[in-house]
Amino acid sequence: MAAPAPTGAPRPSHPHPSPLPNYNPNLPITPEPSLSQNFQNLQINQPPNAFTSPSSLVGPIRPPSSGQVPPFPASGTTPIGNFPSRSPINRPGVPPPGVIPRAVMTPFGPPQNAVPPNATPARPSTGSVAGHPPSFAPRPSPPASTPLGGIGGPPLRSPPPTFPASQVMHAPSSARPSGLGSPPFSATGPVPPAYAAAGPVGNGTPGLSGGKFPGALPGAVPGTFPTNFPLSGGVRPSQDEPLGPPSTTAAGPFSQAPPAHAFPGTVSASYPGNTPPSLSSQPTPPFSSGSSFLPSGSRFGLQPWQVQPHQVDLQAGADAGQPPRVLGMPPPLPSQGIAGMAPGIGQAGASMPAPSKIDPNQIPRPIPSASVILHETRQGNQANPPPPATSEYIVKDTGNCSPRYMRCTINQIPCTADLLATSGMQLALLVQPLALPHPSEEPIQIVDFGEGGPIRCSRCKGYINPFMKFIDQGRRFICNLCGFADETPHDYHCNLGPDGRRRDADERPELSRGTVEFIASKEYMVRDPMPAVFFFLIDVSSKAIQTGATAAACSAISQVIADLPEGPRTMVGIATFDSTIHFYNLNRALQQPLMLIVPDVLDVYTPLESEVIVQLFECRPHLELLLENIPTMFQSNTTADSAFGAATKAAFLAMKSTGGKLLVFQSVLPSIGIGALSARDAEGRSNVSTGEKEAHKLLQPADKTLKEMAIEFAEHQVCVDVFISSQSYVDIASISVVPRTTGGQVYYYYPFSAVSDTAKLYNDLRWNVTRPQGFEAVMRVRCSQGVQVQEYSGNFCKRIPTDVDLPGIDCDKTIMVTLKHDDKLQDGSECTFQCALLYTNVYGQRRIRVTTLSLPCTNTLGVLFRSADLDTQFTCFLKQAAIDIPTTPLLQVREQVTNHCVNILHSYRKFCASVTSSGQLILPESLKLLPLYALALIKSTGLRTDGRIDDRSFWIDYVSSLSATLAVPLVYPRMISVHDLMSKETEGSLIPSAIPLSSEHVKDEGIYLLENGIDAFVYIGSSVDPHVLQQLFGTSSVEEIPGQFVLQQLNNPLSKKFNEVINEIRRQRCSYLRLRLCKKGDPSGMLFFSYMVEEKSPTGLSYVEFLVHVHRHIQSKMT
């Protein structure tokens, strides 16, 4: 163990870097040719002669160690615009794997003194932290009262950016834009400002009245909708809205339709302090009540949060004997049915005659926004609803946290459990504490309270936040979580202003920001800082050697070690395994690495522990030599067995004293030693009843051995990631238990191809070790009185009820927190949720990231529906289905998905939109896409019966830590046409508009790209123009294109454009998507069409049929 550094001294291995300018490198409307040269290691932009070997898949450019990102390469691109008054401090974050670096970003800041450069001690009398720097300490199970605390104080920071009255900026993409690097673009126009509540702005949160959403005008009626919906094509507003439509000139954020390029809550004017000027003039309504703002022929559905919620109904004729009408369909004639409906699909007992044509363009579908949204989290001391998770937005933290870090399924909290149950919706949070911010956002402030630690409630241990109310001239404060009044520490006292707020509130991040990071004091350290340990474990069984998986793993590791943190704190180890385990002594005193074999795979041990894990700078020559020789050393290996369980246990024993990251490369089914498994999928295929009725049991771990091992790993802060490069069944259901319990994840390459998957393996590994992340973390979510945490779901180990232990946590991991009522909330009050994450950053510094979200409470059901967050609702919906699949038959899970959708829509239909005709299916505006997403989920890989067991197991594991941003694309992928890229108008976006997922939009003469955030499928029709094929693939015949191919950039505009689109999608998804070629007439073509979720298939109804099916269920419940 290195000698302790003196207080405030920088670590020798990490000298303070020079300040980096905060500029936005950012996307030109037309990317420069040099973009491809700087798109590191993607292997899709090189000329054909560039591909010579796996080693050539990697470019020489790499970022500095541990996530420090180099400046954007000078390619001639220039920023398109500047975000107003941006902070000069960079946000933490690194680019996606192998992707163009964005703005200069340092995750969590460089190594700092006890008092960081951008923070000053909040208590001058206490001095700085003494002793060792923050540590990487294993944490014993704390009692319920153990603090998750840290430190805080006012940093010396630049003023936050001010927002001009709502701006909308054009994004580089029309699909889900990346939140981590897209530039701010020039503003286009103003938007009517939201109205602030009258009266003084207190430090606490004043109550709301009448159940109205924040920003509503005085006199606005709760639960109302606008009247300006176009009356065409069978789409019309309800005629019997129980709460009455408001005037188009008297409406707040939830009752006035702003222009189509903005959404409520992003309007802001620059004003001093926290008190905006009073606003008296009414905004001009963007659309008159008699006008239609849907262009002729456009698909139904407006950009989320860019028009106000209103009802969408599917109305049948007045005659009860006729089938229900569907969106976009004219009133059926007496002898007409609904296009594509089989008899009996409509109303019960109704036989349907010849079908008529339904306009598919009028069915609700997601329409991504091509603009960047400016979102201010609170205005007028009231919460603003967040923009959709799938949109691109820039957040100004004005009290509530950014929705990137925490989102709620409903943006107003029901006052009672009965009201929540009546709505049918779920109350839950999605917490992503280390999410990547937009580079134009203000950095999270680091606050130092000295040795005393941050101010906390003495009863509930909640952290100081903007919603704690100071009273008695600042001498006491009332906790907004439990209501307890505490004495304000003497050195933290400040007088109150006339508005009841502390006079220094705006200067203190902990009193003015929803997200803040405290430096942890010594009470949170139980040992000295641990080194950053990376241990690589490689499968060298005969199958792994033959398929090239071993060579691909060694190649990826040899390139990634250059990206690991430099200096004496970084340590590495390596081992290989087949039926035995081979450790390697990397001591530099040896002439070459020495192999140490452990033959016992039932009672494993680690030889020469001190020589197995060594400092990287000492052993790097030996390590590179070893990685180069491993494929050759085992090229004649005939051992087919794999001791996966024993090898991971042996590697753990070597890491036990320090903790760290264990990265395992596995290729075959573990068949020997600890945790040996059998081919259970073969049993399922041979037994039809087992395969159909009890298939879910194959999705459960085979036994408890690996689970027990994983819990032991988590207790010693070892995080395991598994890279599975397989061509056969490996029982992911059992293997995935280890990474899921330790905060890691599974990477799955099936069927593995050394030609097409080597680049993805490298990029995935590089992103894994360089992304913003923390270690030995513990997280707790606290709630206001009346609500409590029911359950946590995600990748973690839970040893006590209130906390989750995270040996590893990174920017991609999301945890679902299910909530329940334990008391009645007061209508108009606010309910607060606070997440505290205690973790060690990559520099060995102990931090507490505190994220606070305060939302209004309501007793009105209509307000609940209008404030529902579709993306968050569906993500929780998706995660719950993934939890149920291993324990419930698939048919039952699919029925639960349908019933959940029906229950929500039935509640809305019954209580919020009663109408005279029972032939109307009315969809709340905020949830109008819920039926489509529910149908897509039913047809997804996880719920289909015709899929492979391993595919379904991987899907379940992937969903468990999935963010809201990627949940929708997973089940409802994006499809675009490629053959006509050059002729399409993309309105400044690289990616053209998406095509509905129906085979009628896939032509034989076309080429199409479909991506779901994991894979990208390129479908080639049977009648494609040979000239187009020659431009894209270098051949004029479909048959000559290999199934396993690496896309090259050829010297023509179409190929260049296609590569730019692929690069942009990879950037948006923060993942190196795997390209898979699909041809009409072979199994790959069938795989492509299995994603056409809007049409009828063996696994489910068509979209239109499903709407009618849902309507039937609602009608039966109404009667």
Condensed to tens digits (0 to 9), the pLDDT of residues 630-656 reads: 999 999 999 999 999 999 999 999 999
- Region 260-281: mean pLDDT is 32
Q: Give the residue with greater pLDDT, 291 vs 731.
A: 731
Q: Is 455 helix (H, G, I), strand (E, B) or coil?
A: coil
Q: Confirm if 66 and 1 have CB atoms less than 8 A apart.
A: no
Helices (H), 11-143: 34-38
Q: Confirm if 232 and 312 have CB atoms less than 8 A apart.
A: no
Q: Name residue 496's beta-bridge partners.
A: 502
Lowest mean pLDDT among 310-314, 755-759, 913-917: 310-314
Q: Give the residue with greater pLDDT, 129 vs 532.
A: 532
The C-alpha angle with vertex 760 and arms to 758 and 765, in degrees rounded to 5, equals 100
Residue 560's pLDDT band, with cuts at 50, 70 and 90, is very high
Q: Pairing relation of β-strands 469-471 and 476-478?
A: antiparallel
Amino acid letter, residue 1034 = G
- For tokens 């309504």, the residue is 285
Q: Confirm if 371 and 394 have CB atoms less than 8 A apart.
A: no
Q: Give the residue with greater pLDDT, 1090 vs 269.
A: 1090
The encoded tokens of residue 1043 equal 């199934």
The C-alpha angle with vertex 885 and arms to 884 and 890, in degrees rounded to 5, equals 120
* pLDDT tens profile 236-259: 333 333 333 333 333 333 333 333
Q: Using CA atoms, how far apart are residues 933 and 389, in angstroms rounded to an integer? A: 15
* pLDDT tens profile 564-614: 987 778 899 999 999 999 999 988 888 888 999 999 999 998 887 668 898
Q: Name residue 477's beta-bridge partners.
A: 470, 486
In the sheet that holds 168-170, the strands lie side by side as: 168-170, 371-376, 393-396
The pLDDT of residue 959 is above 50? yes
* pLDDT tens profile 915-947: 656 677 889 999 999 999 999 999 999 998 888
Q: Confirm if 47 and 1049 have CB atoms less than 8 A apart.
A: yes
Lowest mean pLDDT among 20-34, 715-729, 1021-1035, 1084-1098: 20-34
Element (H, E) at 954: helix 949-960
The C-alpha angle with vertex 721 and arms to 717 and 723, in degrees rounded to 5, equals 165
Confidence at residue 123, expressed as pLDDT on a 0 to 100 scale: 46
The pLDDT of residue 1098 is above 50? yes
* pLDDT tens profile 195-238: 333 333 333 333 333 333 333 333 333 333 333 333 233 333 33
The encoded tokens of residue 435 equal 């999410």
The encoded tokens of residue 538 equal 């490689």
Q: In which region does residue 922 sit, left (phi positive, over 0), alpha (psi from -120 to 50) or beta (all else)?
A: beta
- Nearby residues of 52 by Cβ (< 8 Å), 6 or more positions away: none
The pLDDT of residue 5 is above 50? no
| 435-to-271, 519, 739 alpha-carbon distances in Å | 29, 19, 20
Nearest 5°: phi and psi at 858?
Answer: -145, 150
The encoded tokens of residue 451 equal 């040795």
Confidence at residue 167, expressed as pLDDT on a 0 to 100 scale: 40
* pLDDT tens profile 797-851: 998 989 999 999 999 999 999 999 999 999 999 999 999 999 998 888 899 999 9
Q: Name residue 809's beta-bridge partners.
A: 774
Share of the chain above pLDDT 70, in %: 65
Confidence at residue 529, expressed as pLDDT on a 0 to 100 scale: 66
Amino acid letter, residue 724 = I
Confidence at residue 986, expressed as pLDDT on a 0 to 100 scale: 66
Helices (H), 663-818: 680-686, 688-693, 705-715, 732-735, 737-742, 758-770
* pLDDT tens profile 761-786: 999 999 999 999 999 999 999 999 99
